[in-house]
Structure 1
Amino acid sequence: MAPTPAHPFGAAPASARRTTARRAAAALAAAGLLAAVAAPTPATAADGGICNRFCDARDPANALKDRAPVSATLHGRTIALHVDDGSAMAFGTVDNVVAGDRLWVDRSFDGGRTWDGGSRLGDTAAPGGVGGWRTRMYNVDDWNTGRIGALRACAQVTGDDAIACTGWARSDWNGADRRQAAATALMMDYDRTTGLFGGNGWWTSANALTALIDTIRRTGVTSYAYAVNETYDRNKDRTDGGNQGQFRNEYLDDTGWWGLAWIKAYDLTGDARYLDTARADADHMAGYWTDACGGGVQWKTDTAYKNAVTNELYLALNAALHNRTDGDTRYLDRARTGWKWLRDSGMINGDHLVNDGLDGSCRNNGQPAWTYNQGVVLGGLAELHKATGDAELLRAARELADASTGSSALNPGGILREPNESDGCTGDGPSFKGAYVRGLGALNRELDGHPYDAYLAQQADTAYAKDRNALDQYGPHWNGDRGDGPGHGCQHSALDLLNAAP
């Protein structure tokens, strides 16, 4: 397991540590960017600046590990953001300047959507007679408050209202590998006032939290573990929007997503309250198992519709609870009964793909084979196999997994794509692929020889190479068509993929 970084967010030193830095003077001089600047006095926490290892407005000559991941051009000038990975700070540069050209950096704590309070940091005007100019260095993150940031460099030339900015970028702290980097980008969307991702995403936040917990367990890096407790404490008593406390909801599938998230939280922490909540969620779902269509949990407390994802979640949650409850028979019986009903319900079509649900005549309604309907069942069958050792469960799961991984409709060009996949990262759909690969990964780990390693690696390597920006944010299309991302649905799905891949 990778060691926990020495700089977890929320554990900043009381004052900035002063160290003797290796200077990057030669590199800056070669770029014509070492001219002296009448820079502002270095910031302190008292005057509103941010202090992590060092305080805002540090001299770039003290940069420890300089790279320039993003740049832009304006009227023959190249603007660059230089990131110092050694101090988790960054500064802006511009070349070919004339007197009066302005340069600054912006800082955002929501992945580049807004930069209120972080606008025009280090705003400086170039004097005459210099080839290049630069700002002072500013912290990317705020460890004191747990805010995860990004910076960009902007410039405006003399006598022109036009402004050009680089793309957003950040340091590689808490990004030692691609899972950690994607988790850090996901946490840009975590709202510490609501304890949810994307401000108020409900069931999608359960999936995002699940992906985050999986990353913590895979990497051993606990910098963002605070989100587990914060999410729980801020939302466990909610009774608005159809919620009934303990993450129970009028939508039974929402209840199932949260129940599985708290199973993951229990596995990570051993805290029994998370397991108790998962039990409350499973019992809530069980209360809406009805005789319509021969059984199954209905989709909503006041809607009799029987659909696939609700019942797949019911299977997975009850099997997981059995595996964590000594002497249990109740949850095991539910899981077995749930699988038998789902298997025989007609929702699994002749191509071994799972359609959305049943129509009013209790027949397959022919609605799209959404990816999450192909994946949640795989994780549920893997859990049920752990409980029973029944080889038939793995045979059935492999039949379903082979169908979905081999479907040209779901994998055009070999890369997973949601039916009718949107170009955006908002709403429900962007979370579907994450649930799919999470379930496939769980099955893959349960099978001898891990037969889906190659498929998962191909998906992950393609998304990493083609669907990722300088902030390690992912868009909706893993094949490289960036779409209109980012957002927490796209981001947790990519993180789920990286966690599932070998």
Structure 2
Amino acid sequence: MYPPSFIRTLILSVSFASNAFGQSDISDPTKRAEFALSALQIFYNAGTGLWSTTGWWNSANILNIVANLAKVDDSPQLQSLASRIFANTLVQAPPQNPQPGVEGNHNKQRVNSNDVFVMFNSTGVGSGYTKIMDNEDELVTTGERAKTAAANVNDWLDGFYDDDLWWALGWIAAYDVTQDKEYLTLAESIFAAVATTWGTNCGKGGIYWSWQKDYVNAIANELFLSTAAHLANRANDKASYVAWAKKEIDWFTTSGMINQRFTINDGLTSDCKNNNMTTWSYNQGVILGGLVELNRASPEDSYLTLAAKIAKAAIAELSDDSGILHDKCGPYCGADGSQFKGIFVRNLQLLHDVAPDDAYVEFIQTNANSVWTNNRDDGNMLSLDWAGPFINPANASTHSSAMEALIAAITVE
């Protein structure tokens, strides 16, 4: 067994950006993003395969962020680092799942590596549940056990379908960079497991937020759309994934979650009406990527038209007078809300790639420049408020989210 210090050295040994402390005049978008990745890796715990200071689903999302930078920055050192991160996380992360295979273990939570379970006390829809992971420094005991854990789809499922699908999208992104079929197969397996839950009390369509089947919300269904559409453009069974994506978007657009302003509220009431809860930025974003991928797989003008309406409505509703993106939870959003803004910008970039719009360019560049100039400390850490000032301390969630604006800016130079 390799000691944690050896693994950490292996993961962090690649340096692709020289010291930039205090250098606010760096204008090259790629260099900015590279400095941000160097800072992000301070949070990476090679022993757990996750980014410390944030949660299970956030680390899945950060996989996507690392992959997106690797897609637009062909530095050999960065490509090597990204591949190492993917491979390490595949092996080390499964034991950190807070509720592995909870659907088959009823109301229980695993408390140790010997699969001892205790009753899990959910905190409910209103407050969510604890996603923050302990900063553990343990390695899987044997290589064979690690491979088995990574191959077992139940080890990536925690009973919250949005979490499951964040991991699916993260592994799809890893596949895009490496072309390693193991990542794509894992993503397909995760999607297949979630697809078995299809059908809610709201028109017998869509998926619930969790295994408890007590809430139908936007993010889980948008992620279902996006994952199906991404797989349609990569996996062998294209027709099946296109059918799933179309089934989801047809249900979603009639569900009532898209309001009259073309922004998307958090979810539905128990009687299947729009609950008028917060229009979180990530709910305006994930659907954009899903529609872009679905249009790529099965072109239809209405997909990009809808995406543009949602994108522009979100920019208008969630930006301040200076054009900087905010969520309504600021200045303190917790580990979940602090992740949301970057997800919107990432998916807006995907929309711009296929349907260019000067409004998107201006928005991305304005936010990226503000992040770098107003929301960065001397160690290149990025905090919550993209308009500034820097709110101490930054963490892996605030930093990786803001980093997404820097990556998007590379593509719209």
TM-score (norm 1): 0.64
Shift of the 300–180 alpha-carbon distance from structure 1 to 2, 3 Å rule, reads same
Question: Contact (CA 8 Å) 2:14, 2:81: kept in 1 or not?
Answer: no
Q: Which moved more, 1:182-191 or 1:234-243?
A: 234-243
- How far the C-alpha of 1:325 sits from its partner, in A, is 2.0
**Which residue type is aligned with residue 381 of structure 2?**
Q
1:273 to 160, 182, 185: 182
CA contact (8 A) 1:370 1:418 kept: yes
User: Which of 12, 18, 33 matches 1:179?
Assistant: 33
Match of 1:439 among 329, 339, 347: 347
> What's the counterpart of residue 231 of structure 1?
89
| Matched AA of 2:79 | T
Distance 1:350 1:449 in 2: 23
Q: Which residue of 1 aligns with 2:132?
A: none
Give deviations 1:374-398, integer Å, cap 9, x for gaps. 1000111011111111111000100
Match of 1:406 in 2: 316
The letter for the 2-side match of 1:232 is L
Aligned pair in 2 of structure 1 residues 202, 386: CA closer, same or farther (>3 Å)? same
1:418 counterpart residue number: 327
- 2:12 corresponds, among 137, 140, 146, to 146
Q: Deviations 1:184-216 (Å, cap 9, x if unpaired)?
A: 111111001100001662000011121111112
Is 1:219 matched with 2:219?
no
Higher helix share: 2
What residue in structure 2 maps to residue 50 of structure 1? none
Bigger strand fraction: 1
Q: Percent identity between the aligned chains?
A: 31
Q: Would you say the 8 A contact 2:233–2:297 is kept in 1?
A: yes
Which has the bigger relative contact order, CA under 8 A and spacing at least 6?
2
Please list, as runs of the form range in 1=range in 2, the aligned pairs for 1:93-492 lying within 5 A after superposition.
146=12, 177-198=31-52, 201-220=55-74, 221-225=78-82, 226-236=84-94, 240-243=98-101, 245-246=152-153, 247-294=156-203, 295-407=205-317, 409-423=318-332, 426-449=334-357, 451-492=359-400
Count of residues paired in the alignment: 339
Please tell me whether the aligned partners of residues 474 and 485 of structure 1 are also in contact (alpha carbons under 8 angstroms): no
Letter in 2 for 1:272: K
Aligned mates of 2:246, 2:44 — CA distance in 1? 36
Residues 85-131 of structure 1, C-alpha deviations (whole Å, 9 max, x = no match): xxxxxxxxxxxxxxxxxxxxxxxxxxxxxxxxxxxxxxxxxxxxxxx
Change (3 A) 1:334 1:237: farther
SS in 1 for 2:214: strand
Give the 3 Å change call, closer, same or farther, for CA 276–404 of structure 1 in structure 2: same
- Asked if structure 1 preserves the Cα contact closer than 8 Å seen for 2:63 and 2:173, the reply is no
CA distance in 1, matches of 2:207, 2:161: 8
Larger Rg over CA atoms: 1
Distance 1:298 1:213 in 2: 28
Tell me how far apart the structure 2 counterparts of residues 368 and 322 of structure 1 sit (CA, whole Å): 31
Deviates more, 1:217-226 or 1:437-446: 217-226
Structure 1 residue 148, shift from structure 2 partner: 8.9
Q: Report the 3-state secondary structure (helix = DSSP H, G, I; strand = E; otherwise coil) of the residue aligned with 1:403.
A: helix
**Aligned equivalents of 2:285, 2:332: Cα separation in 1:** 22
CA-CA distance at 1:485 after TM superposition: 2.9
State the SS of the aligned residue for 1:300. Answer: coil
1:417, distance to aligned residue in structure 2 (A): 0.6
SS of 1:305's partner is coil
For residues 371 and 144 of structure 1, what CA distance do their matches in structure 2 show? 36
* Superposed CA RMSD: 2.5
